[in-house]
Amino acid sequence: MTTISDFKPLKKDGARSRTLPGYVYHSSEIYEQEKTLIFDRVWQVVAHEGELANSGDYVTAEIAEEKIFVIRDDDGVLRAFYNVCQHRAHTLLTGTGNVNNTIICPYHAWAYTKSGALKASRYTKTLPDFDPAAFSLREIRLEIACGFVFVNQDPNALSIEETWPGFIDSVNEHVPWWSELSFHSRSDSDVNGQDDHASNWKVLAENCRECYHCAPAHPAFVDLVDMKRYKREYHDGWFLNQAPVNKHDNAAYTVLPTEPVQKAMFWHLWPNNEIGISPGERNLSSFRYYPSGPETMRMSSINAAVAGVGIGAECSNYMWNVLWPEDEGICDAVQQGLKSKGYRQGRFVMDGESGGESEQGVHEFQLQYAKVMRLPVEE
């Protein structure tokens, strides 16, 4: 059986370090450990508060195969619950929508208030020792940051401010108008309507954290943004990368000089959340990629924009019909390569001349991963 001891450990110096071994990206054992050590304990962006304006508005989400939902109760409070009936474990809600009165399980019609209390359960009044209060829905931690709704399954988790210190201040600094935006749209599957993507979630996490691949893999993107002025800021638990517009008339989509956003910025939040703006009209989006198995993942994006203005059609078309398919193809190919007998471990490109194309972000991600997963790291 392959174990971590069969490979060279990560080094704190990225320029001297090997990458994580391929088996970490397809091992069922590793995946089960990730669910416990990572996804049971981290903040996950699942909605925009503008989606949940009215009492009974809800959205559903998944976190490493765990189903949850967020709902606004009758007092106007946003709440998050595990999406499972307390009777015989049927899923309660699907998709997005509004619950007018009560949350009713489609299996045996147990009904819950929007605050999670069991309101009705057929033929249970004569059951001995039956206490409805013992069958309330299980609630989950919830916080709002920059208009986005985050949840965390760990009741003892640090707050978002403590988890990603300085992140909210950074968004306020660079996107001071984010509070003026309204919910615009969401996508919970790829453009072909398929839920599962054929790669491990870490493959996409690492792909998003470096632009070493941008020139060969995303020619239109490097025509859109100025790679010579591509910058990164590294912080505790998160980092920011940004680049100004390179050409207004470029191969990706036209960005008028008069449009308010003249740069691309992405905040990467450990382990699998991104918040970003794209050149063009005022916008702010979240992007989350999460595992659905050892070798598959799903993703969810939520977009906010100025009401009545929205996000340009050319921008959306490029992001979802050009840029994302390019990355999806990369990730699928890498996933297959990570299983090859011909691959063991790679190296991080940390050359000082690479500037914004350095793989420092990937090294930082793998160091954090090793820490959480209790993998060895050498000096």
Residues β-bridged to residue 72: 78
Say if residue 342's pLDDT is above 60: yes
| Residue 189 or residue 37, greater confidence | 37
Q: Indicate whether 245 and 296 sit together in one domain.
A: yes
Instruction: Evaluate whether residue 222 is within a structural domain.
Output: yes
pLDDT at 195 over 90: no
Residue 267 exposed, middle or buried by CB count within 10 Å (0-12, 13-18, 19+): buried
| Same domain, residue pair 344 and 242 | yes
Q: Are 11 and 26 members of one domain?
A: yes
HSE of 248 in the Cβ direction (CA atoms, 13 Å)? 8
What is the predicted pLDDT for the residue at 4? 63
d(CA 336, CA 373): 23
Q: In whole angstroms, what is the distance from residue 182 CA to residue 307 CA? A: 6
pLDDT of residue 355: 61
Query: How high is the pLDDT of residue 266?
Result: 97
- Domain-embedded: residue 151: no
Residues 297-326, mean pLDDT to the nearest whole number: 96
289 contacts 299 by C-beta, under 8 angstroms:
yes
- Mind listing the pLDDT tens digit for each residue in 259-308? 999 999 999 999 999 999 999 999 999 999 999 999 999 999 999 999 99
In a domain, 152, yes or no: no
Write down which residue in 82, 117, 145 finishes a domain: 145
Look up residue 196 and give its amino acid: D
Please tell me the pTM assigned to this model. 0.95
Q: Tell whether the model's pLDDT for residue 190 goes beyond 50.
A: no
Domain containing residue 63: CATH number: 2.102.10.10
Residue 354's pLDDT band (boundaries 50, 70, 90)? low
138 pLDDT exceeds 70?
yes
Cα–Cα distance measured from residue 201 to residue 248, given in angstroms and rounded to the nearest whole number:
33
* Residue 250 maps to a domain: yes
Per the structure, how many domains does the chain have? Answer: 2
Q: Is residue 296 part of a domain?
A: yes
Do 111 and 123 share a domain, yes or no?
Answer: yes
Dmax (CA) for the chain in angstroms is 76
Query: Of 145, 178, 199, which residue sits at a domain end?
Result: 145
Structure-model confidence comparison of residues 330 and 355, the more confident one: 330
pLDDT-based confidence at residue 6 (cuts at 50, 70, 90): confident
Asked if the model's pLDDT at residue 185 lies above 50, the reply is yes
Q: Is 71 exposed, middle or buried (0-12, 13-18, 19+ CB in 10 A)?
A: buried
Q: What is the pLDDT of residue 193?
A: 47
Mind listing the pLDDT tens digit for each residue in 198-207? 999 999 999 9
**Domain match, 363 and 233 both:** yes
AA identity, residue 62: E
User: For residue 191, is pLDDT > 90?
Assistant: no
Is residue 188 located within the same domain as residue 315?
Answer: yes
Q: For position 357, what pLDDT does the model report? A: 82
The first and second tokens of residue 323, run together, are 């840029």
Beta bridge partners of 49: none
In a domain, 252, yes or no: yes
CATH number (domain holding residue 309)? 3.90.380.10
If asked whether residues 171 and 262 sit together in one domain, one would say yes
CA distance 248 to 262: 9
Note whether residue 72 is domain-resident: yes
Q: Are residues 341 and 233 in the same domain?
A: yes
Same-domain pairing of 229 and 296: yes
Per-residue pLDDT, averaged over 310-319, amounts to: 95
Residue 192: predicted pLDDT: 45
- Average pLDDT for the chain: 95
- Looking at the structure, do residues 347 and 299 belong to the same domain, yes or no? yes
**pLDDT tens string 66-84:** 999 999 999 999 999 999 9
pLDDT in the model for residue 189: 63
Say yes or no: 95 and 194 in one domain. Answer: no
Structural domain containing residue 267: 4-43+159-378
For residue 291, tell me if it sits in a domain: yes
Query: In terms of domains, do 39 and 49 share one?
Result: no
